[in-house]
Amino acid sequence: MSKEETRKIIHIDMDAFYASVEQRDNPELRGKPLAVGGSDGRGVIAAASYEARKFGVRSAMPSRVALRKCPTLLFVKPTFEKYQAVSKEINAIFSRYTPIIEPLSLDEAFLDVTYSKYEMRSATLIAQQIKNDIRNELDLIASAGVSYNKFLAKIASDQDKPDGLFVITPDQGAAFMEELPIEDFFGVGKVTAEKMKANDIFKGVDLLPYSKWELQQLFGKTGGFLYDIARGVDHREVQSERVRKSVGAEMTFSKDVIGEIDINEKFSQVFDKWWTRYESHGRKGRSVTLKIRNYEFETITRSITEPNYVSDKVEIREKLDQILHESIVEGVPLRLIGVSISGFEAEDSEIASQQLTIW
């Protein structure tokens, strides 16, 4: 058997994490449609309970839209310090079974249990035990995907939510991918999906006639990755120490910001906060992105990639000022401004091989 087939990867995904923590801590919220986020006209849903999802309420949805879908929707403001503390407790459970843990966010992580320190050798039984530990000790529900690579493990964890446990074995991987709709390929957004459909690619099996070179011509770097995963192949390792891929800062405004003077004032606050974080990061980057969101929740991003690593605060501020001026529409209020930087030193050569953007 190949190295790819012998690996045992688990992807744990907490079910409706923020909302579930709130329902756990407040019995009056249990069994009711709940949203974590702001309830005013400018609020956005950070997480929704499964009771709310039955009405079509989803994360990133404007609160006013969510209320139209579910008039009985309850709101609680997010408490990220609490969620971070619970996430640490979850990771402590993971560490009982393996030291190779790659957190993706507060509520999900990859675990490589190929050589687990636990007495069980079955990845499926380990995944079930982890789910049991989380339920019994933290009173929370997790779904698990088990497979021989990261991509399939992540796909698997989403197959039987909530409280799911789904396994894709090495002899099932290629056939499973053949039937998987391209919309379910993690990392394939709407634009890429439409481009794939325009080329009569609707499921994994439709990728198989294409050579790797042809897919790269159609979809750039992602094409090579698509070639592999369509065949159930993903050689990426679980990285127990993830390298931060970007450093950013953003500000969401409680009131609409309009007019050049007010917008520049808010942008200065965001820029200074971002620059402080960037300097503290200790690594220089080249790709800077400006993000703005208007009162209609339309998000606009503009990026520049410098030939040299960014080190001059005044110079990059002038360039971002120009991009901001070109991006805003006179008379249209803003609700969010953000700045981030990526393409760090010693990272550029790694990105293509790791294909991190697909996730």
The confidence score (pLDDT) of residue 291 equals 92
Q: Percent of the chain having pLDDT more than 90?
A: 56
Asked if residue 49 lies in contact with residue 16, where contact means CB atoms within 8 angstroms, the answer is yes
- pLDDT of residue 357 exceeding 50, the answer is no
State yes or no: is 306 an active-site residue: no
The confidence score (pLDDT) of residue 119 equals 67
Res. 239 pLDDT band, cuts 50 70 90: confident
- pLDDT of residue 3 exceeding 70, the answer is no
- pLDDT of residue 140 exceeding 60, the answer is yes
Average pLDDT (325-343) is 87
Res. 2 pLDDT band, cuts 50 70 90: very low
Given the residues 51, 102, 108, 306, the one annotated as active site: 108
CA dihedral 171, 174, 176, 182 (to 10 degrees): 160
Average pLDDT (204-225) is 91
- pLDDT of residue 295 exceeding 80, the answer is no
Res. 4 pLDDT band, cuts 50 70 90: very low
- pLDDT of residue 19 exceeding 70, the answer is yes
The confidence score (pLDDT) of residue 201 equals 94
pTM over cut 0.85: no
CA dihedral 215, 219, 221, 226 (to 10 degrees): -50
Angle at 215 between CA 210 and CA 220, to 5 degrees: 180
Residue at token pair 């994994």:
204
Kindly report, residue by residue over 180-199, the tens digit of the pLDDT.
999 888 777 777 888 899 99
Count of C-beta atoms within a 10 Å radius of residue 235: 13
Asked if residue 142 lies in contact with residue 130, where contact means CB atoms within 8 angstroms, the answer is yes
* CA–CA dist 287, 278 (Å, integer): 12
Set out the domains of the chain in order of their start, with CATH numbers.
Answer: 1-170 (3.30.70.270), 172-230 (1.10.150.20), 246-344 (3.30.1490.100)
* CA distances (Å), origin 86, targets 91, 110, 129, 164, 280: 9, 17, 18, 20, 27
* CA–CA dist 273, 355 (Å, integer): 29
φ, ψ dihedrals at 188, nearest 5°: -95, 105
| 179/239: higher pLDDT | 179
Res. 40 pLDDT band, cuts 50 70 90: confident
The confidence score (pLDDT) of residue 355 equals 31
Which residues are known binding-site members for Mg(2+)? 13, 107
Residue type (1 letter), 342: S
Rounded to the nearest integer, the mean pLDDT of the chain is: 87
Weakest mean pLDDT among 65-69, 238-242, 317-321: 238-242
What does the DSSP assignment read for 124-156? Answer: HHHHHHHHHHHHHHH---EEEEEESSHHHHHHH
Which residues are known binding-site members? 13, 107
Strand residues in the chain grouped as ranges (E): 9-14, 34-37, 45-48, 74-76, 101-105, 108-112, 142-147, 165-167, 246-257, 287-294, 299-305, 334-342
